[in-house]
Amino acid sequence: MKSKNESTLVRFIELMKMADYPEMKDLLSDDLVAYLTNSKGEVDKLEGKTAYIQRFSAIDRPREIQMNIVQMVSLVPDQILMMLEVAVNDAGKSIVNHAAYLVKFDHKKIQEIWMVGSTCSP
């Protein structure tokens, strides 16, 4: 049986797949802090749920995208370590990315997101 936080994270990924940014925003804490790897391999710190949503809504989404949670482990009651697989097929080009995220919750909302590792294969 999934915990409330695990269910929230699964729902967040489902909403991300659908690019439902308003619903995603509802699952984020107002004081969200997220550390994400950018295209240069550097880490960007995003502060606030609006900044996080703006980052994702600005991405030119490929025609075909699949997101699957490969593994999810509750470390302590308010933290989940998740492995996410993202497969993209756009104009005949396929890319698969695996990334690990450490997600912290506060009052059943996502408070911190740390992208702790990522690999990409064409």
Order of all β-strands in the sheet with 79-90: 43-47, 28-37, 109-121, 93-106, 79-90, 64-76
Q: Is the dihedral of CA 83, 36, 6, 76 positive or negative?
A: positive
Q: Which CATH architecture has domain 4-121?
A: Roll (3.10)
For the chain, which residues make up each domain, given as ranges? 4-121
Determine the 3-state secondary structure of 68 from DSSP.
Answer: strand
Which stretch of 12-16, 35-39, 47-51, 77-81 has the lowest confidence by average pLDDT?
35-39
Burial of 34 (0-12, 13-18, 19+ CB in 10 A): buried
Residue with tokens 């550390």: 35
Q: What digits encode the pLDDT tens for the residues 23-73?
A: 999 999 999 999 988 778 788 999 999 999 998 877 766 567 889 999 999
